[in-house]
Amino acid sequence: MSAQLSIAKALNEALRKSLENDPKTVLMGEDIGKLGGVFRITDGLQKDFGEDRVIDTPLAESGIMGTAIGLALRGYRPVVEIQFDGFVYPAFDQIVTQLAKMHARALGHVKMPITVRIPYGGGIGAVEHHSESHEAYFAHTAGLRVVTPSNAHDAHWMLRQSIESDDPVIFLEPKRRYWDKGEVGEDPGFPLYSARVVRPGTDATLIAYGPMVKVCQEVAAVAEEDGRRLEVVDLRSVSPIDFATLEESVKRTGRGIVVHEASVFMGVGAEIAARLTERCFYHLEAPILRVGGYHAPYPPSRVEETFLPDLDRVLDAVDRAMAF
């Protein structure tokens, strides 16, 4: 398969392939069957694979996760859809205390091949609990993998790789990019947990994931007009983090800026900044900087653009890094 697809369609095709390839794969979630999901990611799948494999669940996230864990214990490979990011909290107990720990608790004898799909992030003008970025909660929990694609190719292949994994994977989908189109190639190209340089550069490294990768690519294009060559690295995996790729880039450019939508306070950027400072200290020309959301509840949609990192805020960080 090589085609131009939106991220939403690439995810739909990944789910279809996974259902075709493994009869033990089942999809579960609110309104994913007849409706095809709020964002139509599962559109047409119940019609083609039946109500026993594409299951409309009650509005009960904790019950969905508990059922998925039970199915995994019975040899199934569940793919759970949480309708919106803020709806995952009722399932948080099941994810953190059961899903993440079952493998270690059973001394490796029990596998938990569950993929939890969560549309996350802002930028769609939604109400409370529909625009949050909570990746740090899950990345902090040992036993979980946390990944997020930024383009259609990665959306398709990373979802298939996640479903094939025997580890529990939190699969975060950048909902404001669902309609962005891109080429989906015939093979993954990269392992699931590896970072990728999406734009080479020499003066500073922008590190981003999910929806912020596109913003950083726009920043790099603007900065080039001022003679600055910025490297952009798509993290792809938040846990584990491919520090080898980040370290190689930052040692070469001497500057690093981490960009994400979530609050910078105790966020993923804080961990990356600390680790890169430890590993690259004698190569750094400036401190590792962070650009992200504020340490405040996500605001009403009419002012969300002031909360989300944008081109100007990232360019300001680039200026500060270059001024050292």
Active-site hit among 103, 129, 130, 260:
130
Which phi and psi (to 5°) does residue 221 adopt? Answer: -65, -40
Report yes or no: 230 and 242 within 8 Å, Cβ to Cβ: no
Of 170, 100, 102, which Cα lies nearest the Cα of 134?
170
Residues written for the chain: 324
Catalytic annotation present for 103 = no
Chain centroid offset of residue 196 CA: 14
Which phi and psi (to 5°) does residue 204 adopt? Answer: -165, 155
**Long-range Cβ contact pairs of 50-58 (< 8 A, separation 24 or more):** 52/26, 53/19, 53/25, 53/26, 53/27, 54/19, 54/26, 54/27, 55/26, 55/27, 55/28, 55/29, 56/29, 56/30, 56/31, 56/32, 57/28, 57/29, 57/30, 58/30
Tokens of 84: 């919106």
Rounded CA separation 239/162 (Å): 13
Of 194, 166, 25, which Cα lies nearest the Cα of 99?
166
DSSP per-residue string spanning 258-307: EEEEEESTTSHHHHHHHHHHHHHGGG-SSPPEEEEE-SSPPPPGGGHHHH
Residue 150 DSSP symbol: S
Of 90, 46, 42, which Cα lies nearest the Cα of 65?
90
Report yes or no: 299 and 307 within 8 Å, Cβ to Cβ: yes
Catalytic residue positions, numbered: 130
